Amino acid sequence: MNEHYDLIIIGSGPGGYVAAIKAGQLGKKAAIIENRELGGTCLNRGCIPTKTIMHSSRLFYEAKNLQEAGIEVEGLRFDMNRIQERKEEVVSRIRKGIKSLLEANKVTVISGTATIMDGHRVRVIQNSAQEENTNQEPRELSGDNILIATGSQPFLPPVEGISQENVVTSDQLLSENDFKYHNLLIIGGGVIGIEFASIYQEFGSQVEIIEAMDRILPSMDKEISQSVAMSLKKKGVKIHTKSVVKRISKTDQLLCEYEDSTGTHFAQADGILVAVGRKANTRELFSPEFSLEMEGDKIKVNEHFETSKEHIYAIGDVIKGIQLAHAASAQGIRAVENMYGKKQSIELSAIPSCIYTYPEIATVGLTEEEAKAKGYVVKTGKYPMLGNSKIILSADERGYIKVVCDSSNNKILGAQIICPRATDMIGEFTTAMVNGLTAEDLGKVIRPHPTYGEAITEAAEDVNGMAIHIFPKGMK
């Protein structure tokens, strides 16, 4: 039997389920197809599990250093089984919330694997048939529009020995109930690698990072990259940049052979995390008689998220661009609005990026170097957090806030923050950019004292040399 919907969505991650809810709010009959757990990678194997475990590792690390605040703790230990149980509790609670939202907006949820047959037809092999290996007939759906939101999965490079035991991806590492890796080697110094480096370092493991580029976090502002590298090294993390992994072998431990400009080197570890990037989930998504125009492993779309075939759209990690949950959600809303001729309700020009290390990192818009490369004459304001009262009283690590402005009108082009709560603070700069605000506009706001956020005032006012609480050079 053929079922017809206004919109068929493949994938229930932050892009897919938000798009489905938006369609429901517009009065459209929507169906969402998911071949794994509701909530996609972000909820089940990405953002939420990682940050939940990071919350535990941070508390453990802080507890080990409570003497500075006058508190003595004896017999401190962590229980990875309980940490994993709590992670599952958090994930389950959020998954139930998503299910309730979809039900409230009358979205049909179908558990199975989808194959796009043409511009209006999708075939679904339901999970019960797959698991039981029955001859159950595939479910046939038709839709006025189809939205692809299938996300991505960890990429494994073609390195000799990469498939052996204890060489893992982030998916596998997040599900470990035993704390197996007291010596962890991480291949890849991007966001995923750096966050796991922080987790394992805080739990007391020896951590080593191998990065092919000339610095860790190569997509971030150079000063942020340098600050994070300095902080990690200070805590005992070894970092090798401009280094290429050649092979992985096994003796008593795993042995990773890598090369840099000085020759061949070896690193030993109990476990190796491969975190060199992700690839789009498009395998077997299309029938043999149907295809879309691609850009490598990504689906090509236009500014409206339309693919090369009419009535088929794609968003999130499956297309080129920034791979972030909140970006996928925004794209999902925009795609649905474009399908049905609705006014655009969300601005995509300023998408913040966050890294949940300690201290946290958050950026939005252009760095100073990027702005200059685009032809802007820039002015910058910077506030070193060593003068922030909340940083001092909390015994937090130093950081800074930097704001980049167009010198012709002082409008904000971008901002970079490295300090506690940076991921919560970046929203102010994102709001300013979307609304065309200037550094003066940000400086007018009264922010409470003592807070990390009052440093935003100082950074904004420093654009014109008017900051009050920036210590003179050399003063600490």
d(CA 231, CA 209) in angstroms, rounded, equals 14
pLDDT of residue 130: 56
Q: How far is CA 304 from the centre of its chain?
A: 23
Q: What is the DSSP string of 341-356?
A: TPPP-S--S---EEE-
Tokens 């990072």 identify what position?
209
Q: What does the pLDDT look like over 72-97, one tens digit per residue?
A: 888 899 999 999 999 999 999 999 99
CB 469 within 8 A of CB 451: no
List, by residue number, the catalytic residues.
Answer: 449
Span 411-435, average pLDDT: 97
d(CA 265, CA 246) in angstroms, rounded, equals 10
d(CA 420, CA 396) in angstroms, rounded, equals 7
- Give 129's pLDDT tier (boundaries 50, 70, 90): low
Which of 23, 8, 24, 6 has its CA nearest to residue 115? Answer: 8
Residues in the chain: 476
The two tokens of residue 125 are 């092999």
Q: What does the pLDDT look like over 310-332, one tens digit per residue?
A: 999 999 999 999 999 999 999 99
Crossing angle of helices 191-202 and 47-64, in 10° steps, is 40
**Burial per residue of 160-181, b for 16 or more beta-carbon CB atoms within 10 angstroms, e otherwise:** ebbeeebbbbbeebbeeeeeeb
Tokens 């890796």 identify what position?
181
Share of the chain above pLDDT 90, in %: 88
Considering Cα of 372, then 421, then 393, then 57, what sign does the dihedral take?
negative
Run of H or E including 122: strand 121-126
pLDDT of residue 475: 43
pLDDT of residue 137: 83
Please state, rounded to an integer, the average pLDDT across all residues of the chain. 93
CA distances from 332 to 14, 23, 223, 450 (A): 8, 10, 33, 38
Please check the confidence at residue 1 and state whether its pLDDT lies above 60.
no
CB 139 within 8 A of CB 55: no
Q: Amino acid identity of 112?
A: G
d(CA 430, CA 444) in angstroms, rounded, equals 17
Span 426-440, average pLDDT: 97
Please check the confidence at residue 171 and state whether its pLDDT lies above 70.
yes
Q: What does the pLDDT look like over 27-66, one tens digit per residue?
A: 999 999 999 999 999 999 999 999 999 999 999 999 998 8
Q: What does the pLDDT look like over 445-458, one tens digit per residue?
A: 999 999 999 999 99
Segment among 59-68, 111-120, 181-190 with least mean pLDDT: 59-68
d(CA 299, CA 317) in angstroms, rounded, equals 10
Considering Cα of 99, then 105, then 110, then 116, what sign does the dihedral take?
negative
pLDDT of residue 338: 96
**Burial per residue of 19-38, b for 16 or more beta-carbon CB atoms within 10 angstroms, e otherwise:** bbbbbbebebbbbbbbbbeb
Domains of the chain: 2-153+279-339 (3.50.50.60), 167-276 (3.50.50.60), 353-462 (3.30.390.30)
CA distances from 450 to 234, 346, 348, 361, 391 (A): 28, 33, 33, 20, 9
d(CA 439, CA 463) in angstroms, rounded, equals 7
Q: State the CB neighbour count (10 A cutoff) for residue 476.
A: 7
Determine if the peptide bond prior to 450 is cis (ω within 30°). Answer: yes
Quote the longest CA-to-CA distance of the chain.
Answer: 76
Query: Which residues does residue 273 pair with via DSSP β-bridges, in sequence order?
Result: 168, 186
Span 408-436, average pLDDT: 97
Which of 44, 45, 19, 46 has its CA nearest to residue 32? Answer: 19
